[in-house]
């Protein structure tokens, strides 16, 4: 089932404040850690599925320098992409595609991607779309290629707030833009509690990834700590 109009409108509204998240210490660490786990070899074609405002791609450029040959950001929200394009406007290797990532993977040439990353996108999908996601990922990533998939498997802000407040003094912990982001997250939790979004467990995701032909190189809890974090990360290798 494709995203409906309400969901697209939600991402459009969220794009206005989304980068307030960069002020949330656990988010900054999540992006850094996800990108650290992504294999990027010289000449690689790298795709960010559900790139949002381009924070992962930006980090890939910062950490991998000249290595990637092509950086592709795919997102269904034109407003999110507008910010991503602005961030990467200096980089001639970056290009952006405004479409459903499921359609993009279906239409892309097989085995034409070396590395893929997708952070906090998969939880928005129902099981039938997750099946398309894994099938599409296995289709576009070349044998031996890699992927990092990160997604939330539980609602709540407790572990994030705790980690954030451990690292940032209270008086500057919650600037207005970050408060706006946290309010937008309430809409996400509402979608989750109404089953519009369907976060899967680490066990389910692992089994889906393996059935699609990936081996799980590493899996861990993150985004609020390795014990209480609200996200799970899978580092994958295409067999
Ligand atoms: C929570 S944001 C994550 C953005 C980015 N990956 C990050 O970590 O900052 C989710 C993004 O996924 C995009 N998205 C959700 N479902 C999508 C789909 N089926 N196809 C393309 N983009 C999608 C939304 O538009 C939004 O930009």
Residues 64-114 have pLDDT tens digits of 999 999 999 999 999 999 999 999 999 999 999 999 999 999 999 999 999
- Assign 1 a pLDDT band (cuts: 50, 70, 90): low
Q: At what angle do helices 78-87 and 55-64 cross, to 10 degrees?
A: 20
Each as own residue / partner, the long-range contacts of residues 19-24 (CB below 8 Å, 24 or more positions apart, any chain) are 19/53, 19/55, 19/83, 19/177, 20/175, 20/176, 20/177, 20/178, 20/179, 20/180, 20/181, 21/178, 21/181, 22/55, 23/175, 23/177, 23/178, 24/160, 24/164, 24/178, 24/181
46 CB near ligand 1 (under 6 Å): no
- Alpha carbon of 121 to ligand 1 centroid (Å): 5
**Which CATH number covers residue 197?**
3.40.50.150
- Alpha carbon of 169 to ligand 1 centroid (Å): 30
pLDDT digits (tens, 9 = 90+) for 101-151: 999 999 999 999 999 999 999 999 999 999 999 999 999 999 999 999 999
Please list the residues that pair with 219 across neighbouring strands.
234
Q: What CA–CA distance (Å, rounded) separates 238 from 11?
A: 30
Q: What CA–CA distance (Å, rounded) separates 88 from 29?
A: 20
Domain that holds residue 138: 5-238
The least confident of 18-22, 118-122, 170-174 is: 170-174
**What is the 3-state composition of the chain as percent helix, strand, coil, each rounded to the nearest 5?**
50, 20, 30
Q: What CA–CA distance (Å, rounded) separates 144 from 9?
A: 37
How many domains does the chain fold into? 1
Residue 134, C-beta contacts closer than 8 angstroms, at least 6 positions apart: 208, 209, 211, 212, 214
- Alpha carbon of 171 to ligand 1 centroid (Å): 31
- Alpha carbon of 50 to ligand 1 centroid (Å): 4
> In testing the pocket of ligand 1, which one of 8, 12, 50, 77 has its CB within 8 Å of the most ligand atoms?
50
51 CB near ligand 1 (under 6 Å): yes
77 CB near ligand 1 (under 6 Å): yes
235 CB near ligand 1 (under 6 Å): no
3 CB near ligand 1 (under 6 Å): yes
Query: 22 phi and psi, to 5 degrees?
Result: -65, -20
| Ligand 1 atom with least separation from CA of 11 | 25
The least confident of 105-114, 132-141, 163-172, 199-208 is: 163-172
Percent of the chain residues topping a pLDDT of 90: 84
- Higher-pLDDT residue of 69 and 4 is 69
- Alpha carbon of 149 to ligand 1 centroid (Å): 12
- Residue 38 has a CB neighbour count (10 Å cut-off) of 21
- Assign 185 a pLDDT band (cuts: 50, 70, 90): confident
> In testing the pocket of ligand 1, which one of 31, 52, 108, 151 has its CB within 8 Å of the most ligand atoms?
52
- Higher-pLDDT residue of 2 and 162 is 162
Minimum CA distance residue for ligand 1 atom 25: 77
The tokens describing 151, both together, are 């997604």
């Amino acid at each position: 089932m494709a995203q409906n109009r309400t969901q697209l409108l939600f991402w459009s509204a969220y794009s206005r404040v989304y980068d307030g998240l960069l002020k949330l210490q656990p988010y900054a660490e999540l992006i850094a850690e996800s990108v650290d786990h992504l294999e990027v070899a010289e000449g690689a074609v790298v795709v960010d599925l559900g790139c949002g405002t381009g924070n992962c791609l930006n980090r890939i450029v910062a950490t991998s320098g000249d290595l990637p040959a092509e950086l592709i950001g795919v997102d269904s929200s034109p407003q999110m992409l507008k910010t991503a394009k602005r961030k990467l406007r200096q980089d001639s290797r970056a290009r952006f595609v405004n479409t459903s990532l499921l359609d993009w993977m279906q239409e892309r040439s097989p085995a034409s991607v070396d590395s893929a990353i997708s952070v906090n996108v998969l939880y928005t999908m129902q099981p039938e779309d997750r099946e398309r996601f894994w099938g599409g990922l296995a289709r576009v990533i070349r044998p031996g290629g890699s992927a990092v998939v990160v997604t939330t498997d539980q609602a709540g802000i407790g572990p994030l707030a705790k980690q954030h407040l451990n690292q940032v003094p209270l008086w500057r912990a919650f600037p207005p833009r970050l408060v706006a982001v946290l309010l937008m997250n309430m809409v996400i939790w509402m979608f989750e509690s109404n089953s519009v979004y369907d976060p899967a467990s680490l066990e389910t995701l692992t089994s889906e990834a393996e059935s699609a032909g990936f081996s799980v190189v590493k899996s861990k809890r993150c985004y609020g700590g390795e014990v209480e974090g609200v996200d799970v990360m899978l580092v994958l290798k295409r067999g």
